Amino acid sequence: MVCVTDHNETAAAVAAAGRDLGVRIVVGEEIRTPDGDVIGLFLTERIPYVLPLAEVVGRIRAQGGLVYVPHPFDQVRSSLGAVLPRLCEQGDVDVVEVFNAKIADQALNDQAAVLAAAYGLPGGAGSDAHDSDGVGAAWLEMPDFDGQDGFLAALPRARITGEYRPHAVRYPRRVI
């Protein structure tokens, strides 16, 4: 299973899900909100970005999707760390990413794991692959499942595997 969660877009995930790739594709989207990024998993339609966080969570839930919080304490990316405890208390979070392959400081991943445990939430892992070298930097080995409920039931038994991989250079220097 691969969760395809492009920024503010679902078209590639939908296209991949429609092809016979030999792997199950979960359609998702990483959505920018004024409070930070949030991922919707098991989506049926795209959610516009820069909407208020509560509205994004509502739209994910309205589709029967799951709310996944990526890189919650990363200090250089748009993260929900400041508002995450409140979201967890309100029951607005289904999964907290406890390993992100683009975070060099493991203490930030550990902080996410502590928060997830404190609220009884399962942990996820993300390659955060913005380039082909990043694909597969992190994954979960978990029991097979069917649908969103099965995914959530299997997730606590998952084994997280991953390694740090830095972001690719976005604009390579031109050699003159």
Asked, for residue 138, whether it belongs to a domain, the answer is yes
| CA dist 52 → 18, 67, 68, 72, 104 (Å) | 31, 14, 16, 17, 29
Domain CATH number, residue 24: 3.20.20.140
Whole-structure pTM over 0.75, yes or no? Answer: yes
pLDDT of residue 167: 75
The CA-based angle 85-86-87, given to 5 degrees, is 90
48 located within any domain: yes
pLDDT of residue 175: 66
Express each pLDDT in 96-136 by its tens digit: 999 999 999 999 999 999 999 999 999 999 999 877 788 88
Residue 137 lies in a domain: yes
Strands (E), 51-110: 66-69, 95-100
Amino acid at 129: A
pLDDT for 38-48, tens place per residue? 999 999 999 99
Output the pLDDT for position 151: 96
94 located within any domain: yes
pLDDT at site 149: 96
Print the domain residue range for 62. 2-159
In a domain, 166, yes or no: no
168 pLDDT band, cuts 50/70/90, is low
Confirm whether 169 is domain-assigned.
no
**Which stretch of DSSP H or E encloses residue 109?**
helix 106-118
Q: Is the residue at 164 inside a domain?
A: no
pLDDT digits (tens, 9 = 90+) for 17-74: 999 999 999 999 999 999 999 999 999 999 999 999 999 999 999 999 999 999 999 9
When pLDDT is cut at 50, 70 and 90, the band that residue 172 belongs to is: low
Does any domain span residue 130? Answer: yes
Report d(CA 111, CA 130) in Å as an integer: 24
- Overall number of domains in the chain: 1
